[in-house]
Amino acid sequence: MTTTAIYPGSFDPVTNGHVDVVERGLELFDRIIVVILHNPQKTSLFSLEERVEMLEESLKGLGNIEVDTFHGLTVDYCVKHNAQAILRGMRAVSDFEYEFQLALMNRRLNREIQTVFLMTSLRWLYVSSSIIKEAVYFGANINGMVPAIVQKKLRERFENKNQRS
């Protein structure tokens, strides 16, 4: 039996921490579908299409990975794609409460879908999409914190924003 996990998130943008979770997740699952969930309550810096492009480029070379988008409940996506698990990364204790509540809700919605948490590797503990965006906005060097395509796209995005200001 092939085991499939869904790794959902906004990935706005993808970081090396996200890539690390996918790489380590492949040690546990035969296949991982990285799903960009459309959340109408969040304002994204990048469009869904841009995030798909960045994820595909960032995960290129890894086998058994698929990138997709979805509007709806993660457990519904799991059922539709025959996934047995939801893969989640956690950086710190501050992530735990939200992730725990989400996992319990998903479990309540569908008892067949398991949530698997992977602790972020220590080297990525401080890296989040929000912190990366803020750092680039103020001109910080983020070499090694995000894939090359993400660094390029962030630089372009904020150069354009700063030129309009």
Mind telling me the catalytic residues?
A: 18, 42, 91, 129
Cβ 8 vs Cβ 35: under 8 Å: yes
Closest by Cα among 80, 73, 67, 69 to 31: 67
Report the alpha-carbon distance of residue 36 to residue 31 in Å, rounded.
16
**H helix intervals, the chain:** 16-25, 48-58, 74-80, 93-109, 129-137, 148-164
For tokens 């492009």, the residue is 53
Question: Can you tell me the distance from the alpha carbon of 141 to that of 147, in angstroms, rounded to the nearest whole number?
Answer: 13
